[in-house]
A and B are shown apart, each in its own frame.
Chain A
């Protein structure tokens, strides 16, 4: 009798404990804050230990200022170096095959360097993997492809090293001048260059040429400004709701396409890594324009439109025009059963678009021989021919102007003239919103855009609130 009561008393809290632990098993983040030695790639540490002084490979060295490439002498020749390279996949297509093909070429040209390529999920996963590895004291990869807008977060967490000395050794300005200036704008901070553009994109306007013709609109090019776009959309919208004049997605990263309106109005949403300008008259006007498409002109469905649905709506004839990433071109051309036109996105004063996509970074605290090898690898991956091939096969815009002079690219553009619009549009491009605490700041602006589009608040209120939230966060950063 006594025995059963004993069990009964202790039973209840134990069951609660087990249930809560079940619950906690779902709370992965709780566990992830503790150091995770498993996430560190094993491959790098072995060769590093043999060829480099122990101090450099230790994570403690990240805080020491010395360890740049030129300072330490090169290791004995013939010692193979194995680089670890993290890359995310952000667009459809045989990305892994392409990357592995490039690496084979690179290894054939550099027999003393091996590259261990790790597919690291999406952009956020890649950043998380690297940040937790650094926090936990593990070995980060040598090279990684991360969003160009991650720059300030990476500098703040002491994760990357500037590339200036490498660039100097490879020709300085004459080396960087071939990259599109709009793309290089995302690589500079505190008078350093921190990354090279690798897989870059830009939003473009896709339009259904057949519908344009049927509505009596000149189909040789897209609308030149917001007013023209509205006029075209009004002609294209069918009253029964079977076709909308235009669809612009506002989920996921709503701030990105919204920036097209702002840049097309001759402005932008930030001026410095710690200063945003969400509540200026130009930005307010741009958000009003975005909202007017559904609420005033009725040429776009109301509510939030999903990024993933836009290409489907376009190829199915539900939308006569959409704004989407230049990276969707191949997919749209493959599926559409009509003539597809491509133009630039617009604001009231004309064309305008933010840049987008990923850059290549070299991580901080890796041994000197790895740094030298990493630089060779980055140079190779951003070289004229590789960038041309990468662009042809994925839809990314090649980051080098010379890539558009290669024979392969010329042949491709002869077949697919629509692909020439995106690189040309870079003339009108401004930098994508990039600040300290980037994800949070982008969300403040995105939430403001969404709350206006769904009628939850007025343009002025939404942007003022976003500005205040952003100011509060950014006031912690001196520059």
Chain B
């Protein structure tokens, strides 16, 4: 009796030990990454949340607790609302456009024809350029009068436009650059995804008489859901983080028509030295990204297949 119970205890202990090891192993494996994430992301994040609750700027050099004062001030500021609007507009337009274009390009280039590599290279090439160089090149293209784009549209008898100097056109000009810059990058992900798709499915579809449109819509697109999810997430984050081209091309102008979250954040901290307000903007940015990413994952998680 006593002997059996001791045996059971021992087995239970061993079992528990095993279960603990099984549970601990994943944490052990991710711990090096976790350490870096904690040091370079979580700690700054907590620090920013802390700073966002204090007033600290040129007038108030010693931090003074204000609770949600910085956030209330931001949301009641028409200037900041404009910044949020510009950012959302940029996200809502550039993300679908560049993901869609990338998909179309990938579908077109996922075949065998002459000079295929050349086409792929041509579309991928903007990705290789640093954004700062790309923005400088486009700055010249948008120059009123003798800029390439104006020379082009004047050929069609459309009057030369002051692309970056007109509040109605400046944000559109930045969107064009953004789409041009990243579409080729997303195209490569779609191409890679397509080339990983099983051939037999397409062959049997062909045997069943499906044309190319049908097999694209019914097979390629659903199977690419994982890639689409990834690309969309990256695109959204990229769009929220638009800053280099604003710095180079417009400085947020004219009249804040191209002022977006990250640029405003940079200016608030490094130009106005307003730590409290800048921290509050950071928190808002992080929350927006978190919400976008979570919604994106939850809505597509079930339908996505990961290889």
Contacts and interface: CB of A to CB of B under 8 A. Distances in A.
A440 interface: yes
A172 interface: no
A476 B59 contact: yes
Interface string A176-214: 000000000000000000000000000000000000000
Interface residues of A, number: 61
Contact of B253 (A124, A304, A437, A440): A304
Contacts of A301: 144, 162, 165
Interface string A1-15: 001000100101011
Interface stretch (B40-48, B84-92, B99-107, B180-188): B40-48
B297 A454 contact: no
Contacts of B43: 34
Contacts of B273: 131, 153, 157
A24 to B, nearest CB: 5
Nearest to B160: A241
Contacts of B59: 156, 436-437, 473, 476-477
A364 interface: no
A415 interface: no
Interface string B141-169: 00111100000000000001010111100
B286 A318 contact: no
A10 B26 contact: yes
B266 A29 contact: yes
Interface string B133-147: 000000100011110
A33 B51 contact: yes
Interface residues of B, number: 61
Contact of B255 (A153, A313, A439, A451): A451
Contacts of A27: 241, 262, 265, 282, 285-286
Contacts of A308: 139
Given A128-B270, A157-B58, A251-B165, A22 B237 contact: yes
A20 interface: yes
Given A26-B243, A29-B266, A456-B255, 9 more contacts: A7-B26, A19-B233, A24-B45, A30-B47, A33-B278, A250-B254, A302-B162, A476-B59, A476-B60
Interface of A: 3, 7, 10, 12, 14-34, 124, 128, 131, 153, 156-158, 241, 250-252, 301-306, 308-309, 312-313, 316, 318, 436-437, 439-440, 447, 450-451, 453-454, 456, 473, 476-477
3 closest A-B pairs by beta carbon, nearest first, are: A303-B165, A304-B165, A476-B59
